Structure 1
Amino acid sequence: MGDRQGEAEILNSLAGILAGTARPHEALPLYRQALRLAREVRSFIYEAQAPEGAARCEIRAGAGPAALAGFREAIAIYRRIGAPEEEAARVYLAEAETA
């Protein structure tokens, strides 16, 4: 439809739905595509949501410490834009680091 920001939002949403199923690995390509689109259109909130969602999937899939970089990236963007999502991402990251 030509709305790249809307596409990034929808991809993040679809990935979130898949991530909540027993197949979180299927969400990863959608998060990657959402991240690419969000960067192209400079939509910072969707740019943060994509690596956070991907990190959550990777943790669920057993990737462990390697997945934490996505949280750190998301937190940095949330902080930069003053998004309230930063706090929830920080809590999840802290829990994942101690697990």
Structure 2
Amino acid sequence: MRLHYGVWDGVVYDNRGTADYKEPEGLDLKNLLQFNNGNPVMTFISHRGFLVFHPHANLLFAMNKYYSRVKDNSCGKCTPCRSGSIIISQALEK
């Protein structure tokens, strides 16, 4: 698995068209292959950022799915989850 681009912990990684390959330190990208054996990971999104592994990955689709789940699983105690996840999810739907 090769990281194409992304932002992780506020650091931008862009390996498209460069020989100077970089990936987030302390993040074992090989572990991502264990999520769904046989189904390649195209994107990975978390509260720490996003990573894109396939040049044809649809980041908007992935973000929409991510925030839809955040919205559905929010406990509602904090404003960013309670309100923000709904606002972001609706914006990505459009």
Q: TM-score range by the shorter chain?
A: 0.3 to 0.5
**If you compute each CA radius of gyration, which structure gives the higher value, 1 or 2?**
2
Scaled by the length of structure 2, the TM-score of the pair is 0.38
| Structure showing the higher strand proportion among its residues | 2
